Amino acid sequence: MGGIRECSPESPAPNPQPPIPNPQSPIPNPVTKETTAQHLRGLPPSAIAIAVLAVVARDEERYDARMNTVHLAKCVTGLTVAILLTTAPCPTTGGEPEKPVFGGQFMDRFLPMPLQGRLTDDTWGADSVKPRDVDNGIEDRQWSYWGGNAKLAADGKYHLYVARWREDHPRGHHAWGGSLVAHAVADRPMGPYRVKDTVGKGHNPEVFRLADGRYVIYVIGGYYIADDVDGPWQREKFEFNPRGRRIIAGLSNLTFARREDGSFLMVCRGGGVWFSKTGISPYYQVTDRRVYPPVPGAFEDPVVWRTNVQYHLIVNDWRGRIAYHLRSRDGIDWKIEPGTAYRPGIAVYEDGTKVDWYKYERPKVLQDEHGRATQMHFAVIDVVKNDDKASDDHSSKHICIPLTVGRLLTLLDKPRITADTKTIRLRIAAEQGFDPHADVDVGSLRFGAAEKVNFGGGCKAIETERSGDDFIITFDAAGSGITEDNFAAKLIGKTSDGKLLFGYARLPWLNYLEPALSACPPSITKQGDGFAIAVEVQNFSQVASTPAPLRIVGHTGDREVELASGTVPALAPFEKTVVELTCGNVFKPGVSYETSVMIRPEGQRKVTLRRKFDPASKAK
């Protein structure tokens, strides 16, 4: 698991999946349920419960969700076309789709919004977004707000950095290109936020904190940095090194997560994974294939965060108006979670009043001291963006929605769970406002691999005991579903008053900080009667690597040519080396090859990077 998935767009994925539809492939014509189903045929069960067929059209959707089917109505030159979005077949029977149980998809974690002020109709917006609480997040009649996230600072207040532009700008919503980053402050996490000052020009801000305590506000095209949440802010530029890889969908809408040692993981708009040693030092790309679900969609707005257990990633399909949730042990290899992360309809007040925002974009999270997401921040708009004109009754704002927080879990059994394991002991920690002895409905609990628990499977509780304020539950291990593919176990159940209870636990037999060796495409040059090969390898882990075997193979058709082999020396975190090798004149004249660079760190899976190579061009 410590390796890096590296494969070129032309090469097969390390774990081949059934064929999937190409997001860029032509839309079936005519568009019917039958042709759409044919277009989506072959989606792997792991590709999430809902597959989105992207339609190239004006951004004028109408959303209508019914049980397992979603109809996306598009207005195409006056013709409304209903596109069927299907669910994947049941992974166990291949028949009717399986639906996640409550708590099996991220969207189940959204809670009703408590009022920060009062519900009112005396505000801008379509009827669908009134009445609402204007003190949730930030809004006013003079400005349109978009994106941004908040941090709890040492002063005990919440500091939000959000983009805004004049609502009366002649370009309406499309004035976002001239956004300013506003600094707003609130006493409570959900608002009301009040603008204190302006940081400077920029759009799609995301604030994060460096290991040395400084604050960084990313904006498209650069960042601001300051010693304090109040500035003064200095504008700087990031340095990006793609390392011979294709940059996926450009370098915008970036999202960041600080790792345990203070280095940073970054995911770009297109789903590429990058690392930086400090957060402002150069970012290095380690993938050239998006980590998003392998389904059609107009993906953007990723948000990544790290908890005490694992990494989480949510990505938004802006055209389908639906988002997806993924989890990772190392920020490199990702598991796709079932169902949806969010979609329109999640904004509901505690009294049941619904606010039907047309779009939710730029998702961000507010985290607690354990890294758990406690609420989500969104940019929302009441109508199609093109319909938000200057000085009209439409606009956009920043909202906050609370989340059910996952419980702190510890797996007490140190040996690896196998088919022979009889019982599993789990500790549920007590926290402020949560007494596991009184607040847990033990009979509702299911524990095990997320792939099982999300669909109602997993282990059942057979015994409980006190451990001070904490609660220890023993489960019958049968049906846990935990295999070598799992890096965390999941608990789903209910509280004693019927609300969602969930959490994740690390697997104590796993090492969560492993070397992450990554190769650049090899440099192959003609040298005498053979070829010289040079391969740059870098360690993007938080721990030092040990010497690892390296092998280079050439492929043409069904023929495989052994080119060279060597050893990658031990490397400290972010250290790199160049492995120099030679091979004979093994290439056939006039034949193009694909080279594979394979590294197999001890006790870890093989890491492979594939690239095309034309020996004729190197012989000149």
pLDDT for the residue numbered 61: 37
Alpha-carbon distance 66 to 534, whole Å? 56
Q: 133-189, pLDDT tens digit by residue?
A: 999 999 999 999 999 999 999 999 999 999 999 999 999 999 999 999 999 999 999
- Region for 222 from its dihedrals, namely left if φ exceeds 0, alpha if ψ lies in -120 to 50, beta otherwise: left
555 and 480 belong to one structural domain: no
Residues 377 and 335 in one domain: yes
Cα 60 → chain centroid? 26
More confident residue, 331 or 77: 331
Reply yes or no on whether the pLDDT at 289 is more than 50. Answer: yes
Looking at the DSSP bridge assignments, the partners of residue 162 are 182
In this prediction, residue 549 has a pLDDT band, given cuts at 50, 70 and 90, of: very high
Structural domain of 584: 517-618
**Considering 350, 375, 402, which residue would you say is the last residue of a domain?**
402
pLDDT (0 to 100) of residue 69? 32
Please give the share of the chain, as a percent, with pLDDT higher than 70.
Answer: 83
Kindly report, residue by residue over 332-341, the tens digit of the pLDDT. 999 999 999 9
259 and 112 within one domain: yes
> What's 540's DSSP letter?
-
User: What's the domain count of the chain?
Assistant: 3
Average pLDDT rounded to a whole number, residues 578-602: 88
pLDDT at 608: 82
Q: Choose one of 506, 530, 556: the last residue of a domain.
A: 506
3-state secondary structure of 107: helix
pLDDT at 35: 40
- Asked if pLDDT for residue 118 goes beyond 90, the answer is yes
Q: Are residues 201 and 308 both part of a single domain?
A: yes
Segment 456-482 mean pLDDT: 97
Spatial contact of 132 and 120, defined as CB atoms under 8 Å apart: yes
- Residue 70's pLDDT is 33
pTM for the model: 0.86
Whichever domain contains 536, its CATH number is 2.60.40.10
Question: How confident is the model over 24-75, as pLDDT tens digits?
Answer: 333 333 334 444 444 444 444 333 333 333 333 333 333 333 223 333 333 3
CATH number at residue 415: 2.60.40
Q: What is the pLDDT of residues 392-431, one digit of tens each?
A: 999 999 999 999 999 999 999 999 999 999 999 999 999 9
Claim to verify: residue 386 and residue 422 sit in the same structural domain: no
Q: Kindly state whether residues 372 and 252 are assigned to the same domain.
A: yes
pLDDT of residue 234 exceeding 80, the answer is yes
Instruction: State the pLDDT at residue 83.
Output: 29
In a domain, 27, yes or no: no
Counting beta carbons within 10 angstroms of the beta carbon of residue 424, is it exposed (0 to 12), middle (13 to 18) or buried (19 or more)?
A: buried
Mean of per-residue pLDDT scores for the chain: 85
The pLDDT score that the predictor gives to residue 617 is 63
Of 249 and 227, more confident:
227
Least confident segment among 111-115, 203-207, 530-534: 530-534
Domain check: are 592 and 577 in the same one? yes
DSSP per residue, 22-76: -TTSPPPSS--HHHHHHHHTT--GGG-SB------S-S-EEEEEETTEEEEEEEE
Kindly state whether residues 434 and 546 are assigned to the same domain.
no
**Contact in structure between 338 and 455 (CB atoms under 8 Å):** yes
Looking at residue 40, what is its pLDDT?
A: 43
CATH of residue 363's domain is 2.115.10.20
Would you say residue 109 has pLDDT above 90? Answer: yes
Position 589 confidence tier, pLDDT thresholds 50, 70, 90: confident
Q: Which two tokens stand for residue 606?
A: 């093989």
* Same domain flag for 599 and 459: no
Residues 397, 419: one domain? no
Distance CA 314, CA 481 (A): 25
Q: Among 402, 424, 446, identify where a domain stops.
A: 402
- Using a CB cutoff of 8 Å and minimum separation of 24, what contacts does 354-357 make? 355/128, 355/129, 355/130, 355/132, 356/128, 356/129, 357/128, 357/129, 357/381, 357/382, 357/399
- Split at pLDDT 50, 70, 90, the class of 592 is confident
**Residue 296 pLDDT:** 87
pLDDT of residue 240: 98
Query: Which pLDDT belongs to residue 97?
Result: 58
Task: Please write the tens of the pLDDT for every residue from 513-522.
Answer: 999 999 999 9
Confidence band for 616, pLDDT divided at 50, 70 and 90: low
